[in-house]
């Protein structure tokens, strides 16, 4: 049986943990060769060892323009066009009100979440084949205005908006751009948010109609759909994967 991404080359930023790692693993299972990035070599080594020879690890911090240039050079050296780009790198900081947010905190989030996403796409789009697919990781936080996370929320809204602009700008090359917006998902970031508190997690779960937190593999399935020909008539869209949390 052939996979949905047989013979294709995919780049997945922040592909060594959480959603990014689940995406990389699913892409490999569907027949793709995958370039994963992360800012730590030890994490890359583990993922390459676990997922096998079709995975290439590239040391990269998406918030660093020089690193993005090196990523583009590495991908270019592979000698084949990129079929799928998943711009997944992102972070938040501890809950901080707008009036208390420092300049450093602002840049720590915005430089990776939006600037990093924007310039990752800018550097790699010229290396993509016509008819390829871009998937940007946004978040339901782009819509809910949760207090204490203004920069994160706003940058994820910007990421979602970018998918629309890319769809319009790349129409002549038939490159589709879409956003996936996860809700609460069982990752290290979610665990840090709940700080191991059952009460906090239960309060979150109470807002999710499905009655539980999502799994990274469930988000990866949505990313696969957007990356593959299964979504060939989907462009500029946002696929929300949150168990209904933001929908009812």
Look at the block and give the residue holding tokens 């957007």: 226
**For the segment 66-120, what is each residue's pLDDT rounded down to a tens digit?**
999 999 999 999 999 999 999 999 999 999 999 999 999 999 999 999 999 999 9
Note the Cα 226 to chain centre separation in Å.
12
pTM over 0.85: yes
Compute the distance between CA of residue 189 and CA of residue 21 in angstroms, rounded to an integer. 14
**For the segment 76-90, what is each residue's pLDDT rounded down to a tens digit?**
999 999 999 999 999
Q: Is 152 a catalytic residue?
A: yes
**For the segment 182-206, what is each residue's pLDDT rounded down to a tens digit?**
999 998 777 776 776 778 889 999 9
Q: Report the b/e string of 172-199 with b at 16+ CB within 10 A.
A: eeebbbbbbbbbbbbbeebeebbeeeee
Within a domain: 121: yes
Region 130-147 average pLDDT? 96
Within a domain: 196: yes
Closest CA to 101 of 55, 51, 154: 154
Within a domain: 248: no
Within a domain: 192: yes
pLDDT for 4 equals 98
Pairing label, strands 82-87, 238-241 = unpaired
Domain holding 170, by residue range, is: 9-241
Within a domain: 102: yes
From the candidates 114, 118, 152, 190, give the one annotated as an active-site residue. Answer: 152
- Domain of residue 187, CATH code: 3.40.50.720
pLDDT averaged over the chain? 96
Within a domain: 2: no
Within a domain: 3: no
Overall domain count for the chain: 1
pLDDT for 196 equals 64
Within a domain: 4: no
């Amino acid at each position: 049986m052939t996979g949905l991404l047989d013979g294709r080359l995919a780049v997945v930023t922040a592909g060594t943990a959480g959603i990014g790692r689940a995406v990389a693993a699913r892409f490999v299972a569907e027949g793709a060769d995958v370039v994963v990035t992360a800012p730590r070599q030890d994490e890359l080594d583990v993922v390459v060892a676990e997922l096998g020879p079709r995975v290439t690890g590239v040391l990269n911090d998406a918030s660093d323009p020089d690193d993005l240039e090196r990523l583009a050079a590495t991908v270019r050296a592979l000698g084949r066009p990129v079929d799928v780009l998943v711009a997944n790198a992102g972070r938040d900081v501890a809950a901080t009100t707008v009036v208390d947010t420092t300049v450093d905190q602002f840049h720590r989030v915005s430089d990776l979440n939006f600037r990093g996403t924007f310039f990752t796409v800018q550097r790699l789009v010229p290396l993509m084949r016509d008819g390829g697919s871009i998937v940007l990781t946004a978040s339901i936080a782009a819509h809910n205005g949760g207090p204490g996370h203004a920069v994160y929320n706003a940058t994820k809204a910007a990421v979602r908006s970018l998918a629309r602009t890319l769809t319009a700008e790349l129409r002549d090359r038939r490159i589709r751009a879409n956003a996936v917006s996860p809700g609460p998902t069982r990752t290290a970031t979610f665990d840090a948010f709940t700080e191991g508190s059952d009460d906090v997690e239960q309060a979150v779960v109470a807002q999710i109609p499905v009655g539980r937190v999502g799994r990274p593999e469930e988000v990866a399935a949505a990313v696969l759909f957007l990356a593959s020909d299964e979504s060939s008539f989907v462009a500029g869209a946002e696929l929300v994967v949150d168990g209904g949390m933001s929908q009812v």
